[in-house]
A and B are shown apart, each in its own frame.
Chain A
Amino acid sequence: MMSGLRGIIDRLSRQRGVRASLIVSEHDGLVVDSSLRFGEGENGERVAALAASIYRKARLSADAAHLGAVSFLQLDSDRGRLCAVGRDDLVLVVVAEPSANVGLIRVELFKALETLA
């Protein structure tokens, strides 16, 4: 299973503009596996905890609003983008440059999600 997870991480990290890809436990907010290309002052544990928290809040909000399951979460900010998809307790998180192709990242995230099933 771990090699499968490593393969998912590697494929996501190969996308142009991807600065980090992580598999995170939604419940704990802890890193299961990751590949990071951050500068100093940033770390995967911080991204994992906050991304898992955002994803869980989105999932609970969508559920409370009777909108169904969250399929894809995207957060755009000045210096980057955060994309996440989830299944069971695992959340796949990608942090990318603002110029990255979100469409391609989205496709790769959904492919990765199928691999997890």
Chain B
Amino acid sequence: MNVAAVESWIEAPLRRYVDDARARLAVLLHPSGQVMAQAGFTRDVDVMAACALAAAAHATSGELGRQLDGRAFRGLHYAGATQQLFLSALETRRGIYVCLTVFDETSSLGLVRLYFEELRRELNAAAPSTIAARPTPTLAADFETELNRNLAALFSGPKAAAVIT
């Protein structure tokens, strides 16, 4: 499966995760919707859509959790006829990220949750700890530029930027 990451420390843990959990697709994103890494996607437009929808679903479920339970829900699981998705946030030294995982009948929610905990630990261990490496928050004015840059990094070419503009 093709795995690509904007920052190199993400790639190995994500690759292990999708292999172990037998996920079909996975995308790691900033809660703002900015893509950080992807596995299994072949088109940048699909990653864009997945990130936007995952960020929205994460924000919605987080707020529902805060309203109902006083804090954000830890994970979200949708089961379709043949495909399922698991959406959950993970905290690293670089900040909070959201991971969207799509899997089918070759895996299970239990396996995905099991290996997601390992992904959480591995990313936390692999994240650069220097304060200088901490990313600056993405401003609305810069969002599209950042998104284009990340998509270009993931799909290695200028076509990502061309699709969006």
Closest chain B residue, CB of each to CB of A29: B110
Q: Which of B75-115 contact A (CB under 8 A)?
A: 107-111, 113-114
Nearest CB of A to B89, in Å: 19
Decide: A30 and B114 in contact? CB cutoff 8 A.
no
Q: Is there an interface contact between B109 and A30, defined as CB atoms closer than 8 Å? A: yes
- What residues of chain A lie closer than 8 Å to B108, measured between beta carbons? 27-30, 49, 52-53, 56
Q: Which chain A residues numbered 47 to 70 have a C-beta less than 8 Å away from chain B?
A: 48-50, 52-53, 56
What's the Cα separation between A45 and B116 when bound, in Å?
13
Assembled-state Cα–Cα distance A28/B109 (Å): 5
CB-CB < 8 A to A24: which residues of B?
Answer: 110
Residues in B whose Cβ lies below 8 Å from that of A27: 108
Does residue A87 face the partner (Cβ distance < 8 Å to B)? no
Interface contact A50-B109, CB-CB below 8 Å: no
Q: How large is the interface on B (under 10, 10 to 19, 20 to 34, 35 or more residues)?
A: under 10
Per-position binary interface string of chain A over residues 94-110, scored 1 when its CB falls under 8 Å from any chain B CB and 0 otherwise:
00000000000000000
A37 interface contact, C-beta 8 A: no
A84 CB → nearest B CB, Å = 14
Instruction: State the Cβ distance, B74 to closest chain A Cβ, in Å.
Output: 13
A46 in contact (CB, < 8 A): yes
List chain A residues, Cβ under 8 A from B114. Answer: 29, 45-46, 49-50
Closest residue to A51 on the B side, CB-wise? B110
Alpha-carbon distance A89/B96, docked complex (angstroms): 36
Give me the interface of A with B, judged by CB distance under 8 Å.
24-25, 27-30, 45-46, 48-50, 52-53, 56
> Top 3 A-B pairs ranked by shortest CB distance?
A29-B110, A49-B110, A29-B108
Known: A27-B108, A28-B109, A28-B110. 7 other contacts (CB 8 A): A25-B110, A28-B108, A30-B109, A49-B110, A49-B114, A50-B114, A52-B108
- Some 17 contacts from A to B, beta carbons below 8 A apart, are A27-B108, A28-B110, A29-B108, A29-B110, A29-B111, A30-B108, A30-B109, A30-B110, A45-B113, A46-B114, A49-B111, A49-B114, A50-B114, A52-B108, A53-B107, A53-B108, A53-B111
